[in-house]
Chains A and B, each alone.
Chain A
Amino acid sequence: MSNSRDQILAKVRANQPQDERPLPDLGLFPARTTELLDQFMTILTLIGGKVQRVSNYAAIETHLREHPYPGRMVTSIPALFSIAEPIPAPSDPHALANVELAIISGEFGVAENGAIWVTEANFGQRVAPFICQHLAVVLPVDQLCPNMHQAYQRLQGKDYGFGVFIAGPSKTADIEQSLVLGAHGARTMTAFLMDN
């Protein structure tokens, strides 16, 4: 196998172009809007997500009591342990198979595409945001950036282990282009946008 490695690299080195091919300057892509919150809410709704403005964690609890999910609720947010059980420490991920709702913290959102960046530090088990029937992400309302270039600037040099941009609920249109929400992952995705 190492033999293949060295042969491959030798062939690539012998054949790759030798002239200078500089990387582009990505600073040429500025923010195109200052209305980050409006754009984020519009796009996330457009791609099938739900948006709830809340003033604090108590308001999330009230919302979930008024709109209950029929089944097991888990969260990684201590302020919500009154309504959902803590996501168990990394053990067997299969233990999350019957989760109805997972509530996790998001770090920041991207206005241009409605995606929210979440990391395993914020959801404990890697499978948690995927295996749940429904997903809710709590995002501080001032943690929005305009587009993916600014998003990667924010991630520069961060050691997050495993992270994922999530943009709305799991979906498919593989059957005659008919959009169906809830392919394998969460059937609904709610962003709780929380005031600071």
Chain B
Amino acid sequence: MSAIPKHPELSQRFNADEPRVDWHDATLWWIREKRDKAAHTLSEDWEALRAAASAIKDNVLGNLADYLTEFESKALANGAIVHWAADAAEHNRIVLSILQEAGAQRMVKSKSMLTEECHLNDFLAENGIDVVDTDLGERIVQLAEEPPSHIVMPCIHWKKEEIGELFHEHLGTPKGNADPQLLTEAARQHLRDKFLTRKVALTGVNFAIAETGEFVVCTNEGNADMGVHLADVHIACMGFEKIIPRAEDLGVFLRLLARSATGQPITVFQPF
């Protein structure tokens, strides 16, 4: 695992290119405006929804151990296997052991900030496992050998011309072509082959429901479901903070989540 560069040093480098900083600011502001517009569509309920979400999470804090064991027993009854990891090293070792048990040297992976924080990809690579990130933005930063810069939009700091260049080099798209439609189509073809040939798929978890043992993985691209339903083994990695008590609590969180993230009324796919 390489040492993480210091933030002041990185910001100095980033701030050196002022037009790019302005462009980046404008992009983030535009997304922020989309969020505000989406919040407005629920103006009668928005603040009450936020307060309810906060109260649910507060209740989770006070009952965390019970909710975790309740989720565990329900998930076991649903046929899942539950592992507990005290830290990143144990988490990574467990994931590797599942891959080894499945006899898999390759896997597809959808977005997971937990595994990002655990530096899972580096650990698996050191142990001979080929990991392909399947969210488009994540795949772009993975090809560029960079970490994501944003939890919702991993490559928001990349310009399309740069992505065109990256895809020309790695995926053979025409040189100089920076058309998002064409580049997305190239990634679709490239990743479809990975979905169809990998036996293990790893995803994050957006919400885990204590009372039912279910969990939800929200995506717009459909990449989590493509990976999981074509694989023999699904590994879902979650931090404790993903626990919610009741299925009905999702009514609150799913009204807030995508509106807050991208300004959409809901993400395209919420499977559980």
Contact = CB atoms under 8 A, between A and B. Distances in A.
A148 B137 CA distance: 28
A89 interface: no
B84 A1 contact: yes
B242 interface: no
Determine the main DSSP class of B at the interface with A.
helix
Query: Looking at B56, B154, B220, B221, which has the most chain A CB atoms within 10 Å of its CB?
Result: B220
B222 A170 contact: yes
Contacts of B181: 178, 180
Given A12-B68, A170-B221, A184 B192 contact: yes
Given A32-B44, A127-B230, A149-B251, A184 B223 contact: yes
Nearest to B229: A127
A164 B269 contact: yes
A178 B246 CA distance: 36
Contact of A185 (B31, B51, B155, B221): B221
Contacts of B252: 26, 29, 148-149
Interface in A81-95: 93-94
Interface string B133-159: 011110010000000000001111011
A97 B229 CA distance: 12
Contact of B221 (A5, A148, A172): A172
A180 B247 CA distance: 32
A43 B180 contact: no
A184 B221 contact: yes
Contacts of A180: 180-181, 184
A151 interface: yes
For chain B, the bracket of interface size reads 35 or more
Nearest to A19: B62
A114 B258 CA distance: 13
B80 interface: no
B230 A94 contact: yes
B52 A147 contact: no
Interface in A3-38: 4-5, 7-9, 12-13, 16-24, 26, 28-29, 32
B57 to A, nearest CB: 9
B77 to A, nearest CB: 12
Interface stretch (B6-14, B115-123, B259-267): B259-267
A19 B63 CA distance: 10
Contact of B251 (A131, A151, A186): A151
Contacts of A153: 248
Interface in B219-255: 220-223, 225-226, 228-230, 240, 245-252, 254-255
Contacts of B58: 21
Contacts of A184: 134, 188, 191-192, 195, 221-223, 226
Contact of A175 (B59, B183, B249, B251): B183
A14 to B, nearest CB: 9
A110 to B, nearest CB: 8
Interface residues of A, number: 68
A8 B65 CA distance: 9
Query: Looking at B90, B184, B228, B247, which has the most chain A CB atoms within 10 Å of its CB?
Result: B184
Interface of B: 27, 30-31, 44-45, 48-49, 51-52, 55-56, 58-59, 61-65, 68-69, 83-86, 90, 94, 134-137, 140, 153-156, 158-160, 163, 180-181, 183-185, 187-188, 191-192, 195-196, 220-223, 225-226, 228-230, 240, 245-252, 254-255, 262, 264-272
Given A174-B136, A184-B226, 16 more contacts: A9-B69, A26-B251, A127-B230, A131-B230, A148-B252, A149-B252, A151-B251, A163-B271, A170-B220, A170-B268, A175-B136, A176-B159, A183-B220, A184-B222, A185-B221, A185-B225
Interface of A: 1-2, 4-5, 7-9, 12-13, 16-24, 26, 28-29, 32, 43, 47, 93-94, 97, 110, 112-115, 125-127, 130-131, 147-149, 151-153, 155-156, 162-178, 180, 182-186
29 contacts: A1-B84, A7-B86, A21-B55, A24-B56, A26-B249, A29-B252, A94-B196, A113-B265, A127-B229, A130-B226, A147-B251, A151-B251, A167-B269, A168-B268, A170-B220, A170-B268, A172-B136, A174-B153, A175-B183, A176-B180, A178-B160, A178-B180, A180-B181, A180-B184, A183-B222, A184-B188, A184-B192, A185-B221, A185-B269
